[in-house]
Structure 1
Amino acid sequence: MNIEFLRGLTWLSSELLLVLIFILLFILYLTGAFHKKINYRITDVPGLTEPDFPVAMMSVSNSLITQGEFTNFWFEIEDIYTARLEAIQRAQSTIHFETFFMTPGRRADEFAAALAERSQAGVEVLFIADSLGVTTISQDYWQKLKAAGVAVRFFHEFTWKAPLAYNIRTHRKLLLIDGEVAFVGGMGVSDHWDGVQKKEVTDPWLDLEVCFTGQIVVTLEGIFMQHWLYEGGVASLRPKLFKSPVMGGATVLVTPSSSPAASSTVCALFYTTFLAATQRIWLASPYFLPDHNARQALLAAKKRGIDVRILTMGFHNDKKLIYYAVREGYAKLLAAGIEIYEHQPSMMHAKVLLIDDNFVSTGSTNLDPRSLFHNDELQLSLSESELAQLVEQFFAYGISRSDRITITEWKARPIWQRVLGWLTLFFRWQL
């Protein structure tokens, strides 16, 4: 009797395991994990300083070409928040803001107070918040903003009519003031960036923000209005915002990736710039999970003598499982001599690429599957020597506060970290 019972239990367990495996594979199938992956093969890439490079990049990465004056750059969290608030407080006609992540706290309260004050003073305030990224913000918070005249839209709220569409998020961080000034970066509105989280208190995070004026602001206003229209807002194309071209400044590639997409515009952008590098590739990305194309391009760059350095998150981070998954991908990079630095005092959240002496690409895009294939992102790329020098200072600062990971140290990581990392990588297309 006992033997028969055990046999039945074994059969039931096997059947249950098969059902669970089927469900898991079906979920991965529905979310596109088995979709055809593109292998990039690009030749005859123009040099970064050649006049044909922006045109070639525009074509292959579905970017927009515009011009803009780089006016400021910050990588201290307090400086970024101060610059944002001061710009909001100076606004005279419009404030258009889009963000992914917000949490209750001092920063969110300061931000709401500044928006409400300007709105009550007659400034048009349009606010797009990702519905998933702001789930911890109370309804009372939004009601107070709306009562002050702030127009709020939530990107991709959940609906049973299209449940899988909830996987598509806006990860953009964009602040536009009076149709004249644009702030682009990776920082949300949360005390987390000050190092204040429930489980630990660390140094302020490492992040960055860039400010532009000029014709690029018109381009970014149009990108903002696309999401505003999508969420039911009324888009005004009045001349105050959409002015005739104001020439001047550096040529800027604006890459507004949108999902769902079989290919990634930003992935093509990164891959092509890696091929164009002749001296160095310095990349900062917190959730460093590059696809096959980017990984092979980095390895090929190192093989031809390029100085390749990766600055990424260390143990103090906001996604522990992804940290272990990121570490699982170090093997070939370390073996090739690529330098990998893990930031130690706090979370490293910046997204920036420095190629050779002049070329910079920055915005909201992480080098991971979620940013490349599931989120709506925004990336700015340009050759600008002053900005490149400031980005170089950012890397020097970040690397000085980081540990360089060696192949010996990597091989000595605990077994449990390897297992968690491998299991997380299995779901990397949904991270």
Structure 2
Amino acid sequence: MKKLRQYKAFPWHDGNQGIMHRNGDVFFPAMLRAIAEAREFVLLEMYLVESGRVAASFIEALLAAAGRGVRVWVLFDAFGTLGLSSQDAARLSHANLQLAFFNPLYLWRLFNVDRLFRDHRKLLVVDGSCAFIGGTGLSDDFDPAVTPQGYWRETMLEMRGPVVADWVTSFQQIWLRATRTELSLPPVDPGPAAGTLRGRVAVSCVPVQREITRSFFVRARRARERVWLVTPYFVPPAKIRRTLRSAARNGVDVRVLVPGAFSDHPLMTLIGRRFYPRLLLSGVRIFEYQPRFLHYKAVLCDSWVSLGSSNFDRWNMRWNHEANQEILDAGFAGRFAGMLEADFAEAVEILLADVARIGWPGRLQRWFWSRLDQLIAAFSHLLFQRRGPVE
């Protein structure tokens, strides 16, 4: 079996096109339309998959593609699909369709530390001509038509051009990691330039390759205008916090957009607030999104954009396989900034005065969450040291 440490960083490519799809009522129809138009192969990789209207629509689309003679490969994370019924999983059966689960939770290995490694990536590739990258899952939580009041705020990026071939390669690598079998596909012809964007595939294959965070550090330290970070779980390691504070002290517009009252893990929001005081003192601006749960993950540093599955939190960076699309283009960055500005407008900015007036009950709560965060971090580190050999 290939070693993960043999994986190389993907190169930059010119001539790409990138389309932002804001929320599930836009990106789900686009993804299903791409599957319906598939002629050769479909590659689908997801972490969160739950039975419901969205999952059913994708199962039907994949089976229809397989029925047309299209080869379909589906890779779901075993933990992220605990909400997928056995009946729905059984429906994904066809001669032209292969379904695999990343790191299955076998009962006799349930307490093996290596079961903590998860495939958190979200990717759809069709015919080597287009790829969808972002933070969605196949869950009704992302569909405004199913949950009009409580749907999750998400963004997916549709890419066309030379970078799509690298997304195919990336899927082949993670398929090999999950199944120990080679995935043979016809060579992908990038064809003529699809656009003018410069793009690159960035992946993190834990525990040895952390290309996504490495790119963030490089770009954030070089930034002169802005460093804007969007994450649903703001529990960043100290190095990321230092980088944000340093950029703000150097006069860069540093902003962090995180969930407010709505979250699928409220505890993470409470723990993350303990980092607010030092960041605010350094000039970092913090916004809590109000209308609904903010779930997309992105970074904007001047004209560099990174969007995908990486949450930039401690657990994520230590245990999860991640994949982001990077784009280096002033025009695209401007459009992306416009989308972020719209989200900032629907958020409440947290000021230093807000943090200072919390009183003793609030200070005691902050102390408690601080100690709990440190305990979780120490426990995670201990488990990580006990992991098995890297394959």
TM-score range, shorter chain: 0.7 to 0.9
Query: Which residue, out of 84, 92, 110, partners 1:137?
Result: 84
Q: Once structures 1 and 2 are overlaid, which stretch shifts more, 227-236 or 392-401?
A: 227-236
Residues 157, 120 of structure 1: alpha-carbon distance in 2 compared, 3 angstrom cutoff: same
1:359 maps to 2:359: no
Query: Which residue, out of 186, 192, 206, partners 1:238?
Result: 186
1:317 maps to 2:263: yes
For residues 142-201 of structure 1, give each alpha carbon's deviation from its aligned partner in whole angstroms, at most 9, with x where no partner exists.
11111474210000012445811111111111100011111111111111123799xx98
Aligned to 1:3: none
For residues 275-323 of structure 1, give each alpha carbon's deviation from its aligned partner in whole angstroms, at most 9, with x where no partner exists.
1101111111111222222211111111111111111111200101111
| Deviation at residue 423 of structure 1 after TM alignment | 4.3
| Deviation at residue 412 of structure 1 after TM alignment | 4.0
Query: Which residue, out of 55, 65, 84, partners 2:11?
Result: 65
For residues 335-394 of structure 1, give each alpha carbon's deviation from its aligned partner in whole angstroms, at most 9, with x where no partner exists.
1221100011111111111112x2111111111012222110012222123321221121
Aligned to 1:10: none
Q: Once structures 1 and 2 are overlaid, which stretch shifts more, 141-150 or 219-228?
A: 141-150
Aligned to 1:425: 373
1:115 maps to 2:62: yes
Aligned to 1:93: 40
Letter in 2 for 1:209: M
Aligned to 1:341: 287
Query: Which residue, out of 116, 119, 144, partners 1:167?
Result: 116
SS in structure 2 of the partner of residue 64 of structure 1 = coil
Query: Which residue, out of 136, 157, 168, partners 1:187?
Result: 136
Residues 362, 338 of structure 1: alpha-carbon distance in 2 compared, 3 angstrom cutoff: same
Letter in 1 for 2:186: R
Aligned to 2:351: 406
Letter in 2 for 1:396: E
Task: Identify unmatched segments of 5+ residues in structure 1.
Answer: 1-60
**Aligned residues of 1:62 and 1:255 also touching (Cα < 8 A):** no
**Aligned residues of 2:16 and 2:199 also touching (Cα < 8 A):** no
| Deviation at residue 264 of structure 1 after TM alignment | 3.2
For residues 384-406 of structure 1, give each alpha carbon's deviation from its aligned partner in whole angstroms, at most 9, with x where no partner exists.
23321221121111111111011
Aligned to 1:292: 238
- For 1:410 and 1:177, locate their aligned partners in 2 and report how far apart those are by CA, in whole Å: 48
1:176 maps to 2:125: yes
Query: Which residue, out of 265, 282, 290, partners 2:228?
Result: 282
**Aligned residues of 1:259 and 1:375 also touching (Cα < 8 A):** yes
Letter in 1 for 2:273: R
Residues 75, 297 of structure 1: alpha-carbon distance in 2 compared, 3 angstrom cutoff: same
TM-score, normalized by length of structure 2? 0.87
- For 1:276 and 1:125, locate their aligned partners in 2 and report how far apart those are by CA, in whole Å: 42
| Deviation at residue 140 of structure 1 after TM alignment | 1.0
Q: Once structures 1 and 2 are overlaid, which stretch shifts more, 158-167 or 80-89?
A: 158-167
Aligned to 2:277: 331
Q: Once structures 1 and 2 are overlaid, which stretch shifts more, 188-197 or 64-73?
A: 188-197
Which of the pair is proportionally richer in strand? 2
Q: Once structures 1 and 2 are overlaid, which stretch shifts more, 296-305 or 264-273?
A: 264-273
**Aligned residues of 1:119 and 1:149 also touching (Cα < 8 A):** yes
TM-score, normalized by length of structure 1? 0.79
1:265 maps to 2:218: no
- For 1:83 and 1:203, locate their aligned partners in 2 and report how far apart those are by CA, in whole Å: 22
SS in structure 2 of the partner of residue 337 of structure 1 = coil
- For 1:368 and 1:394, locate their aligned partners in 2 and report how far apart those are by CA, in whole Å: 23
Task: Identify unmatched segments of 5+ residues in structure 2.
Answer: 1-6, 382-391
| Deviation at residue 129 of structure 1 after TM alignment | 0.2
- For 1:367 and 1:129, locate their aligned partners in 2 and report how far apart those are by CA, in whole Å: 21
Aligned to 2:4: none
Residues 330, 196 of structure 1: alpha-carbon distance in 2 compared, 3 angstrom cutoff: farther
- For 2:192 and 2:39, locate their aligned partners in 1 and report how far apart those are by CA, in whole Å: 20
Query: Which residue, out of 157, 164, 167, partners 1:210?
Result: 157
SS in structure 1 of the partner of residue 296 of structure 2 = coil
Larger Rg: 1
Letter in 2 for 1:169: R
Residues 372, 125 of structure 1: alpha-carbon distance in 2 compared, 3 angstrom cutoff: same
**Aligned residues of 2:203 and 2:210 also touching (Cα < 8 A):** no
**Aligned residues of 1:124 and 1:150 also touching (Cα < 8 A):** yes
| Deviation at residue 63 of structure 1 after TM alignment | 2.8
